[in-house]
Amino acid sequence: MKASVIVFPGSNCDRDVAVSLEQAMGQKPNMVWHADSELPPSDLIVIPGGFSYGDYLRCGAIAGNAHIIRPVKEAAEKGAMVLGICNGFQVLTETGLLPGALMRNADLKFICKDAPLSVETSDTPFTKGYKQGQTISVPVAHHDGNYRADEDTLDRLEGEGRVAFRYADNPNGSARDIAGILSENKRVLGMMPHPERCADPLLGGTDGKALFTAIVEELS
């Protein structure tokens, strides 16, 4: 299995997710700079959390037009798995790899806390390590995590089983309590909570570990 983590100016969770991947894979992922125009062979691509380009214009907007995005999209079209966490989720919506948009939190305040999530489906390469309906606790840390989409899109996500995680106690006003969604082929996942921040007992929780383990099992 080969994995790559995309690094932008302002990324601050790239090394965190790299550690989680290394623990799950037994080897280090490639760290790929945003200005590169080529992507190493990658079964998994992770766009990490942070504040790419300082969140200028709107979160993820500039990153969504970076040089590396073209090969990322091409890899996704060929079946590579893509995981976007927090700012990475925002980037995925900006690139069109996932529908909808992430808006300002409903109370216009930055939120940083553990969030209880309901696992909405276990029938995906990302979530097969959980049970459907299981409640897990995963940290959130964002100012623009309010997921929005038109009603037809929301209905389609629900009907196709593409809502991966839902907030048990919606902290940001997201439509239908959505915390994470999947692409049509379920090989692209965007989620606002940070599984890499709860993948080791030293971090105070391990509820995120099953996600990384599931990815490795899928791709090994």
Q: How many domains does the chain have?
A: 1
pTM attached to this predicted model: 0.95
Continuous H helices in 26-179: 69-77, 87-95, 151-159
Catalytic residue ranges: 86, 194, 196
- Note the pLDDT tens digit of each residue in 46-61: 999 999 988 888 888 8
- Asked whether the predicted pLDDT for residue 91 surpasses 90, the reply is yes
Q: How confident is the model at residue 123 (pLDDT cuts 50, 70, 90)?
A: very high
What distance in Å separates the CA atoms of residue 119 and residue 220, rounded to the nearest whole number? 24
pLDDT at 86: 97
Q: What is the mean pLDDT of residues 56-67?
A: 88
The domain in which residue 44 lies consists of: 3-219
Q: Is the pLDDT of residue 112 over 90?
A: yes
pLDDT for 162: 98
Residue 219's H or E segment, with its range, is: helix 209-219
CATH of the domain at 164: 3.40.50.880
